[in-house]
Each structure stands twice: as structure tokens, then as C-alpha cells.
């Protein structure tokens, strides 16, 4: 049997860092995704996003897009994707289609970070896209993933859901959605009901994720990649020239925490602005009601 022909070279594109903060925007210049990073979070996905940008691809990474209204809208859409992937007794959603994925990632050339949790579905939705299987050794990856992703989303989930639901009601922003997505995907990926179950099933879930990707994506369509391998294999796989710059190495633990803190501050600013507008709107409505009431009262007094 003749070997399958390799995918065609990716078309040249141009991207700037300013573009990265605009999710869920379709673009004639960018998208749909031609590169899918299949990895779990905290596997140097920010370095990959920066590398894709150097190669001229508009890359999607969660930490770049969260502190925007569009970024929060992305979480609202992914809430349906999470429920469709791991339905529970009281939360189910229709299957996420290629059109649904286009609404989230259709304006990007490359996706990484949170998108990796649905890499198998994205590979089906975008059959012409190439898949970069990015992997770290379990022993070095798990502690950072556990502290950065599992604990914030699986510890005291009921209290966090209640708080975020209240804040969502006050601000009109889908703040609860991001927590629901992460909690649902963490439990689903590791076949667990709580944080203890995630810990117990950690290695099994890690292995199952990569086995699923490799069983769904044929070898000629995927690249097995480790971050220390640099530009060579990545550029050969994507049909790009090797850039004359060092391979990006960003987002170590300290930088990751600093980015999260900065994003949280920006989200707090969005919350305040939303509540201010709501209060202003409520004040205008109250003023109109009082004016109508006073006018009717005045007419009544004048008729005496």
C-alpha cells in the first residue's frame, strides 16, 4: 500500500500580538484552524502560541483572551461544549458541531492551551488541520497542573459555583461559565467525581488522553513534539522556514501566576464597569418612574 501523501503546506499568513486578544471574531485573513495543539494544559502551551505567532499564525491561548468581553463569551460557548462532552444527570447539551467550533476558534490559524482538551473533536471538525502532539513527562507536569488547574477548579466547587452565580447575576457577565467548564473537564478527563478522584486517576487519565489522540489522528497528520526540540521538526512539519530567532520560552510558574493575577484584576475591572452601567441604567429608570409618578401626582393636585 502506498504511503499517504503528507498534508499540503500551510498558506502564509500574518499575525500580530494585538490580534491575540480578540477571540470569537471570524476573519478573512485568519482561520479556520490549520494547526491543533493536542496537549493538556501547563505543557508549555504559551511557548507554542508564541512560536506559532513567529511563524505568522494567529494563535489562540486562554491566558491571552480571558480579560475581554469576547473572552468571557468564549467560556459561555465552551460551557455547552463541556456539557456535550461529559454530560451529567442534570446538565446535558447537544453535540458540539463544526459550526459551533467555528464560532469559538474560527478566526484563528492555530489553537493551543484550553483547546487541547477537545483536540480529538477539533481534529474531526477540521480534517485538513495538522495536529502537534505536545507532551511533557508526567512526573514533571503533574505537580504544576494539579496546583494550577485542578485545585482552583475542584476544591469547594459548590461554594465557588454559588459565589460565581451571584456575581454573574449582579454583573450580567458569564463568570460562572469558566469555572463550570474547567470543573467539568477536569472531572471528565480523569473519570472522577471530586478532587480526590482526580488525584487517584491522574496517571490513568494522562495516558488515556494521549492514547485517544493517537488512535484518532493518523501518524501522517500528526507531529510528536517535545518543547526542547526547537524549530526544526515543527517548521518541517508545518512547511515553514526556520526563523532566525530563538524558540520562545515563556510562561514558567512565576510568570503564569503573574498572568493569572493580571487577568483577575482585568476581570474585576470589567465587573465593576458592568455593575456601574447597570446601576446607572437602574438610576435612569428610577428617575423616569419618579418623574411620571410626580407628574401624575401634580395633575391630581391641580385638579383639586
Q: How far apart are the C-alpha atoms of 57 and 173, rounded to whole Å?
A: 30
Neighbours of 185 (CB within 10 A): 22
Among 9-18, 20-29, 68-77, 117-126, which is the least confidently predicted range?
9-18
pLDDT at 298 > cutoff 60: no
Tell me the pLDDT tens digit for each residue of 221-272.
999 999 999 999 999 999 999 999 999 988 767 776 777 777 777 777 777 7
Q: How far is CA 97 from CA 100, 102, 106, 115, 125, in A?
A: 5, 9, 12, 15, 7
Question: Which range, 96-100, 153-157, 171-175, 241-245, is most confident?
Answer: 241-245
What is the per-residue pLDDT for 272? 76
| pLDDT greater than 80 at residue 215 | yes
Give the pairing type, strands 130-134 and 35-38. Answer: parallel
In whole angstroms, what is the distance from residue 265 CA to residue 287 CA?
33
Least confident of 130-139, 205-214, 243-252: 243-252
Give the residue with greater pLDDT, 64 vs 230: 230
Query: Are residues 34 and 56 in contact, defined by beta-carbon separation less than 8 angstroms?
Result: no
Amino acid at each position: 500500500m502506498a504511503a499517504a501523501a503528507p498534508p499540503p503546506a500551510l498558506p502564509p499568513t500574518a499575525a500580530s500580538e494585538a490580534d491575540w486578544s480578540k477571540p470569537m471574531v471570524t476573519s478573512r485573513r485568519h482561520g479556520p484552524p490549520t494547526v491543533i495543539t493536542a496537549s493538556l494544559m501547563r505543557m508549555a502551551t504559551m511557548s507554542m502560541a508564541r512560536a506559532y505567532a513567529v511563524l505568522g499564525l494567529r494563535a489562540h491561548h486562554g491566558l491571552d483572551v480571558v480579560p475581554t468581553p469576547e473572552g468571557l463569551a468564549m467560556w459561555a460557548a465552551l460551557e455547552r461544549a463541556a456539557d456535550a462532552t461529559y454530560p451529567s444527570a442534570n446538565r446535558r447539551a447537544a453535540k458540539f458541531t463544526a459550526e459551533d467550533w467555528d464560532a469559538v476558534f474560527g478566526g484563528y490559524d492555530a489553537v493551543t492551551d484550553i483547546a487541547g482538551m477537545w483536540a480529538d473533536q477539533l481534529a474531526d471538525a477540521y480534517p485538513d488541520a495538522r495536529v502537534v502532539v505536545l507532551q511533557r513527562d508526567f512526573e514533571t507536569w503533574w505537580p504544576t497542573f494539579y496546583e494550577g488547574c485542578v485545585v482552583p477548579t475542584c476544591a469547594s466547587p459548590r461554594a465557588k459555583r454559588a459565589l460565581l452565580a451571584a456575581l454573574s447575576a449582579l454583573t450580567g457577565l458569564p463568570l460562572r461559565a469558566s469555572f463550570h467548564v474547567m470543573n467539568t473537564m477536569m472531572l471528565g478527563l480523569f473519570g472522577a467525581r471530586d478532587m480526590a478522584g482526580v488525584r487517584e486517576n491522574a496517571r490513568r487519565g494522562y495516558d488515556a488522553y494521549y492514547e485517544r489522540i493517537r488512535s484518532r489522528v493518523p501518524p501522517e497528520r500528526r507531529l510528536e513534539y517535545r518543547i526542547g526540540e526547537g524549530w526544526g521538526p515543527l517548521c518541517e512539519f508545518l512547511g515553514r522556514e526556520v526563523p532566525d530567532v530563538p524558540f520562545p520560552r515563556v510562561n514558567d510558574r512565576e510568570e503564569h501566576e503573574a498572568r493569572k493575577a493580571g487577568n483577575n484584576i482585568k476581570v474585576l475591572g470589567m465587573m465593576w464597569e458592568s455593575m456601574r452601567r447597570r446601576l446607572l441604567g437602574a438610576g435612569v429608570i428610577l428617575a423616569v418612574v419618579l418623574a411620571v409618578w410626580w407628574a401624575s401626582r401634580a395633575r391630581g393636585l391641580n385638579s383639586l
